[in-house]
Structures are given as C-alpha cells and as structure tokens.
C-alpha cells in the first residue's frame, strides 16, 4: 500500500490555500474506490427496499393514470377551454427544468474547471436523465392518441404530410429528446472507466459480465485516456449551449404565442435561470439524504452543499428579478391586456398560487446569504424542498394565465381532477424508481474523476518529493 504512506504523512489540502479540500479524511485512491463501491456491493438495505416499494407504488399510480388516459382520452383531466394546457404542461416544464442541473454541473462547471463538480456530477447527471424521462412522458401522453406520436418526427409517409418546422412545439420535440440523448451519452461516457472498476471488483459472474459488457473492455490505457478526455471535453462543450438552448426553446412554446403574459422576450433567460434554480434544489433534495445514508460525506462535503446553495442564491435572485421585470415591462408597454394579465396573476382568482410562488422562489433563496444556513445540511434540505414546490407553482402560474385572455366571455377557472394528481404523483414514482435503481447498481460518484482531483493525483505533487516515510527514494517500498 505505497500510496497510503503518503497520505498519512502529508496534509491533503486544496492547493489554493484556505479552501476546504474536495476529499476529506486523508483518503487514498483505494479508499475512494471502496467508499463508492460499497453501496453497490453491500447487501440490499431494508431502507432501500422500503423506499423502492414506495416508489414502485407511485409508479403504479402513474401506470393506472396513464392507462386510463389512453383508454378514455385527455378529457379525464381538468383541461378545458380556455385552459387547454393544464398540469401536463406544468409537469413537463417542471421536470425539464429539474433536468438542467445535471448537465450544468457536468458541462458548464467542467469547462470552468470547477473541480468540486466531481463529487456530485454523476448523481446529478443521473437525476437529469430521470427528470427528462419524466418530462418527456407528459407531452407524449398529452397528445391523447399516443399511437400517432411518430407524426411529430419528419418521417416520410404516404399522406405526404410533414411536421411544421416553424412551430416552437416541434422545436421542443427536437430540443428535449436530443437533450435527453446527449445527456445519456455524456453520462455513459463518464461511466465507462467506473464500470471497469466495478467489473474488476465484481465477485459474481453476472455482475462481472454486466459491468464488463458496458465497460467495453476499458483497460485504462493512457493512449485511450487522451482520446477519452478529448471526447469528454467535446461533449461538455456541446452540452453547454445545448443545456441553455433547451429551456430557451421550452420558453418559446409560450413566448412565441400571442397570449398576454406569455408573449415576452424575457422568457428564455428567465426560464433558463429558473431551470438551474430548480435543478440544483432537486440535486440537494436528493444528495443530502443520500450522502448520509450511503456514507459519502467525505466525497460530497459541506463545501459541495455550500457551493450549490450559492448557485441557488444566484439563480433564485435572477428569477426574482425576472418576476419584477415582467411587471415593470407590463406597465411600461402600455398594453392594457398585458397589464391586466399580471395584475390578475397577483390579485386574481389564482392569487394563492402566485403567493406560493413568490414566497418559495423569491424569499427562500435569500436565506442563503447567511453562511450558517448554507453550511447546515438540514436547513439547506428544507429550503431546497421549498424551492421545488415554488418552481412547480411558477409553471402553474404561467400556464393558467390562459384562464383569462383577451375576451372576458371566454374566461374560465381551471380545476385539476384526481387524474391530474395521479399523473403528477405518479411521475415522482417514475423518478424515484429510476433513481433508486441507479444508486443500487451504479457507482453514484465518479470514481475516476474524484481520484483525478485529489492532490496526490498530480505527478508533481509536493508530497512525492518528501521521502521522510522511507529511507529510499520513493520507488522501492515493496522491495522486501
């Protein structure tokens, strides 16, 4: 155990003085492998089984709701004129938004060389994939006759009918499905070396085969690593504009229409900020319990939580600014319909939704100005749940703007049905089922990446020139 010798004699601090180290507890490379592999290799815990059964139950609710929807049609939802985009779209935008944190962490923070991302990127990317899966399910079932869904793609057909490429709804099909696909490729690329680690540790034949199959025969060749790192960098570079484009295009679904309250140019940046805001909240909601349950506190440290809280503070403030600016522009535009839409949001029949949104999204993040709150996992966890709730209500507030447009004669009040609720709760079942399977079968921290940011990963690290642990120059400890 030659590496152990170094770690015991040298303090593993961040090269930039006074920053908390990214990996705590003086771990060596082998310890990192052990910590991450443990939850996967351990026997299944009762707590996991319990959580999994709960998630499966909710997934069953989703299954029943969707089955009834397909059988009976979208009339089982509370959708009606004028609100013909109900919770299906609210849930869609909610889940797509959550799906933004993973790629932001893995791509944008990668390009900015934010090394702290390595502790959380794997789980956040997984969360992204599952959130995008939930998101994609909503427009899919919202079309009603889902067997006609292939029509959204430009597939040659005997009717000579092509999709309308001038429609933001079609852009959305491409944006979200490609976002999901590229996120999957990115996530899988990151997994290859770690799957090799799991393969080389696997005891059972099936596990060895399964991990080995997906590890593609990875043998850590440094000539491979050069191409790998290049590909990873390209994926990060491509994902960065992609992640920003996705919610931009989602916002076009609203902004390109003529509805007062929707037809605004602030929508794209405001949606993107909100997406990052909600995504980081969901990462915190998931990772704070996970790091405790699976003993990952040394890899996902308070510094990680604090950094994410800071991003929530930043994006939350941007969202708050956008809310204010929307009002200002409505007034400044001199357009009475626009002005009415916003006053109606705040004081109209849905004032309670607006109040929930403001208190959760504008007030909650401001607590993170205080370091004590940012560094207390319990407080961060509670506040992150408020952000999740607030961001769902934001999408609700935007969508039910439809309830009062230009013609008072067409106004209405939207009430969801039990099946709307079934779909919302059920989608959480899908999300948690996938997430629980992930934490059970795959390494939830990027093993190779975490090792690469540890100080002793640098071949020129100071610790290697101190030979006080051995009287021979560092290379023959095992001579005996």
Partner 1 sequence: MSSATITTAKPFGALAEFGNPAELYHACEKVRDEGFSVWDAHTPFPVHGLEDAMGAPRSKVPWISLVFALFGGTIPAFALQSWVAVEGSRQVISGKPMLSWQAFIPVTFEVSVLLGAVGALLGMLMINRLPQLYHSLFRSERFERFSDDKFFISIESRDPKFDAEGTVAFLQSLGSSHVELVED
DSSP string, 81-98: SS--S-HHHHHHHHHHHH
Q: Are 93 and 250 in contact (CB under 8 A)?
A: yes
CB of 299 to partner 1, least distance (A): 14
* Residue 185 binds to partner 1 (criterion: CB under 8 A): yes
Query: Within 194-233, which residues bind partner 1 (CB under 8 A)?
Result: 196-197, 199-201, 212-213, 216-231
Taking CB under 8 A as the criterion, the residue among 24, 70, 76, 170 binding partner 1 is 170
Q: Tell me whether residue 103 or residue 433 sits nearer to partner 1 (CB atom).
A: 103
Other Cβ atoms less than 10 A from the Cβ of 24: the count is: 15
Size of the site for partner 1 (CB under 8 A): 79
Q: Tell me whether residue 152 or residue 362 sits nearer to partner 1 (CB atom).
A: 152
Helix axes 87-98, 121-142, angle to 10 degrees: 160
Q: Tell me whether residue 321 or residue 464 sits nearer to partner 1 (CB atom).
A: 464
Q: Are 281 and 384 in contact (CB under 8 A)?
A: yes
Other Cβ atoms less than 10 A from the Cβ of 233: the count is: 13
Taking CB under 8 A as the criterion, the residue among 54, 335, 461, 469 binding partner 1 is 461
d(CA 135, CA 138): 6
* Residue 174 binds to partner 1 (criterion: CB under 8 A): yes
CB of 465 to partner 1, least distance (A): 8
* Residue 152 binds to partner 1 (criterion: CB under 8 A): no
Q: Tell me whether residue 412 or residue 463 sits nearer to partner 1 (CB atom).
A: 463
Q: Tell me whether residue 249 or residue 305 sits nearer to partner 1 (CB atom).
A: 249
The token pair at 461 is 């690290």
Q: Tell me whether residue 13 or residue 227 sits nearer to partner 1 (CB atom).
A: 227
CA distance to 32, 69, 176, 439, per residue, from 45 (Å): 21, 36, 35, 12
* Burial of 329: CB neighbours in 10 Å, binned 0-12, 13-18, 19+: middle
CA distance to 24, 88, 178, 286, per residue, from 17 (Å): 15, 49, 41, 30
Q: Tell me whether residue 28 or residue 338 sits nearer to partner 1 (CB atom).
A: 28
Instruction: Name the nearest CA neighbour of 400 among 420, 419, 418, 383.
Output: 420
* Residue 111 binds to partner 1 (criterion: CB under 8 A): no
Stretch that binds partner 1, among 46-54, 63-71, 380-388, 443-451 (CB under 8 A): 443-451
* Residue 239 binds to partner 1 (criterion: CB under 8 A): yes
* Residue 366 binds to partner 1 (criterion: CB under 8 A): no
Q: Tell me whether residue 33 or residue 91 sits nearer to partner 1 (CB atom).
A: 33
d(CA 185, CA 428): 24
Query: Within 14-53, which residues bind partner 1 (CB under 8 A)?
Result: 28-30, 33
* Residue 164 binds to partner 1 (criterion: CB under 8 A): yes
* Residue 334 binds to partner 1 (criterion: CB under 8 A): no
Taking CB under 8 A as the criterion, the residue among 23, 93, 96, 175 binding partner 1 is 175
* Residue 449 binds to partner 1 (criterion: CB under 8 A): yes
* Residue 153 binds to partner 1 (criterion: CB under 8 A): no
Q: Are 152 and 163 in contact (CB under 8 A)?
A: yes
* Burial of 468: CB neighbours in 10 Å, binned 0-12, 13-18, 19+: exposed
Taking CB under 8 A as the criterion, the residue among 97, 119, 193, 377 binding partner 1 is 193
d(CA 296, CA 452): 17
* Residue 2 binds to partner 1 (criterion: CB under 8 A): yes
d(CA 451, CA 468): 24
Query: Within 252-311, which residues bind partner 1 (CB under 8 A)?
Result: 252
CB of 234 to partner 1, least distance (A): 4
CB of 375 to partner 1, least distance (A): 29
Report the chain's terminal Cα–Cα distance, integer Å.
Answer: 13
The token pair at 242 is 């992609």
Taking CB under 8 A as the criterion, the residue among 6, 130, 386, 396 binding partner 1 is 6
Question: Cα dihedral sign for 64, 143, 438, 23?
Answer: negative
Instruction: Name the nearest CA neighbour of 310 among 288, 275, 338, 281.
Output: 281
CB of 155 to partner 1, least distance (A): 11
Query: Within 345-364, which residues bind partner 1 (CB under 8 A)?
Result: none
CB of 5 to partner 1, least distance (A): 9
């Amino acid at each position: 155990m030659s590496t152990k010798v170094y770690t015991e004699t040298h303090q593993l601090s961040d090269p930039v003085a006074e920053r908390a180290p990214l990996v705590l507890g003086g771990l060596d490379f082998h310890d990192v492998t052990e910590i991450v592999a443990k939850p996967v290799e351990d026997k299944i815990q009762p707590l996991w089984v319990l959580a999994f059964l709960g998630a499966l139950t909710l997934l069953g609710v989703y299954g029943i709701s969707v089955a009834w929807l397909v059988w009976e049609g979208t009339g089982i939802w509370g959708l009606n004129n004028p609100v013909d985009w109900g919770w299906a779209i609210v849930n869609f935008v909610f889940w797509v938004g959550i799906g933004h944190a993973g790629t932001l962490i893995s791509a944008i923070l990668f390009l900015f060389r934010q090394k702290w991302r390595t502790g959380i990127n794997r789980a956040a990317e997984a969360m992204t994939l599952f959130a995008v899966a939930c998101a994609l399910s909503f427009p899919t079932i919202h079309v009603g006759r889902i067997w006609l869904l292939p029509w959204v793609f430009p597939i040659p057909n005997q009717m000579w009918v092509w999709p309308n490429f001038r429609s933001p709804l079609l852009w959305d099909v491409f944006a979200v499905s490609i976002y999901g696909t590229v996120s999957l490729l990115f996530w899988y690329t990151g997994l290859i070396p770690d799957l090799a680690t799991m393969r080389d540790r696997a005891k059972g034949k099936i596990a060895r085969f399964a991990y080995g199959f997906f590890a593609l025969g990875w043998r850590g060749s440094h000539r491979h690593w050069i191409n790998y790192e290049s590909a990873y960098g390209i994926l990060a570079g491509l994902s960065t504009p992609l992640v920003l484009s996705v919610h931009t295009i989602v916002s076009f679904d609203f902004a390109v229409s003529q509805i007062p309250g929707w037809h605004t140019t602030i929508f794209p940046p405001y949606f993107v900020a909100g997406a990052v805001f909600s995504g980081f909240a969901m990462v915190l909601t998931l990772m704070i319990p996970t790091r405790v349950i699976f003993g990952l506190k040394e890899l996902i440290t308070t510094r990680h939580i604090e950094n994410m809280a800071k991003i929530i503070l930043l994006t939350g403030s941007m969202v708050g600014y956008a809310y204010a600016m929307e009002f200002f522009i409505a007034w400044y535009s001199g357009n009475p319909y626009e002005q009415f839409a916003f006053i109606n949001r705040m004081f109209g029949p849905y004032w309670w939704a607006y109040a929930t949104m403001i208190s959760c999204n504008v007030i909650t993040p401001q607590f993170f100005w205080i370091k004590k709150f940012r560094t207390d996992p319990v407080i961060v966890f509670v506040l992150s749940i408020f952000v999740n709730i607030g961001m769902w209500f934001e999408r609700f507030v935007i969508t039910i703007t439809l309830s009062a447009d230009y013609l008072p004669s067409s106004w209405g009040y939207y009430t969801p049905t039990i099946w709307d609720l079934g779909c919302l709760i059920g989608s959480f079942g899908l999300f948690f089922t996938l997430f629980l399977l992930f934490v059970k079968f795959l390494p939830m921290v990027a093993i190779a990446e975490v090792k690469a940011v540890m100080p002793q990963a640098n071949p020129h690290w100071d610790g290697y020139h101190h030979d006080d642990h051995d009287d021979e120059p560092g290379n023959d400890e095992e001579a005996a």
